[in-house]
Structure 1
Amino acid sequence: MIASYTDLMQAVQEQPEPQRLLFVFCRAELPDDASDEEKAAFDRGEGGALTPVICVDKAPAEVAAFSSLVEESRETGQAWDVVFVAAMSGRGGIEPSSDEAQQPLTMMVESIRMGHIGGYLPLDQGGEAVDLN
């Protein structure tokens, strides 16, 4: 069970093929037509919709520490609440390139926009897994 970014990086290192990591940073937002009950829940840190604000792919070596990923995300000026992570496996001992990651990353963003998040690891700003149920 992966419960943190540290666990994820350990699992990535144990894979038989080199990996490339896909990240989609999302901000929790309240829809304009939210009810008073939904607004109150949102104020308590519950509910809302997750809107992708940043997406990037990285080689594991580029983001060995979660703090470096967070710092890079801050440089964009985009606030975020949750980051979803997925991994792409290479072939024949060759790590997937950034070009190869573009289509899967785009599909990941669209999937998250549609609320289909089951296949991704959600992490909070401290690198801990989040239960979004």
Structure 2
Amino acid sequence: MDISHFDDLLRAARAQPEPQRLLFVFVGAELPADATPAQRARFEAGEGGALAPLMCVDKGADELESFDALARESLQFDQPDRPWRLVFAAALAGAPGRAPTSADADAPLQRMVEAVKTGSHGAYIPFDRRGLPVRWG
């Protein structure tokens, strides 16, 4: 399946035979303490930096209308001095006839936060603030 926008992921989650819960980790960028002068200059120009989780949330696939709805909701928690730049997404499948709950999502969501912190985020799809997938390298 080709995911060219966040809403494609949402449609795919809704089409699964088992109910899905979507997991999201919103990240900003921070400058590491040992940054070089060149890295500092890039960061001040709005580029580079290290990914830093800012907030996380889980939603049932049926609880979310669109990327725009998720982005609007995120504004309640967005920090003007540290806005989120990317949101990593993953899905948690339920059992036949049983949707996963927020309690079911707690541990996977925390593992996701830790994976993003350590740079081991390859299993998750990153989207920018427009809902477009980000391709690394």
| TM-score w.r.t. length of structure 1 | 0.92
RMSD (Å) for aligned C-alpha atoms: 1.4
1:4 deviates by 1.2
Cα distance in structure 2, aligned partners of 1:132 and 1:26 = 15
1:102 aligned partner: 106
Cα distance in structure 1, aligned partners of 2:45 and 2:78 = 25
2:71 aligned partner: 70
2:59 aligned partner: 58
2:50 aligned partner: 49
**Structure 2, unaligned runs of 5 or more:** none
Q: Percent identity?
A: 47
2:96 aligned partner: 92
The answer (yes or no) to whether the contact 2:14–2:62 under 8 Å persists in 1 is no
**Aligned with 1:105: secondary structure?**
helix
1:42 deviates by 2.7
Give the ranges of 4+ consecutive aligned residues of structure 1 lying more than 6 Å apart after TM superposition.
none
1:47 deviates by 2.3
**Aligned with 2:63: secondary structure?**
helix
My pick for the range that moved more, 27-36 or 116-125, is 27-36
2:23 aligned partner: 22
1:37 deviates by 1.7
**Aligned with 2:113: secondary structure?**
helix
The change in CA–CA distance for 1:72 and 1:104 in structure 2 (over 3 A counts) is same
1:129 deviates by 0.4
Cα distance in structure 2, aligned partners of 1:14 and 1:119 = 20
Cα distance in structure 2, aligned partners of 1:15 and 1:60 = 10
1:36 aligned partner: 37
| TM-score w.r.t. length of structure 2 | 0.90
Cα distance in structure 1, aligned partners of 2:111 and 2:105 = 10
Count of residue pairs brought into register by the alignment: 133
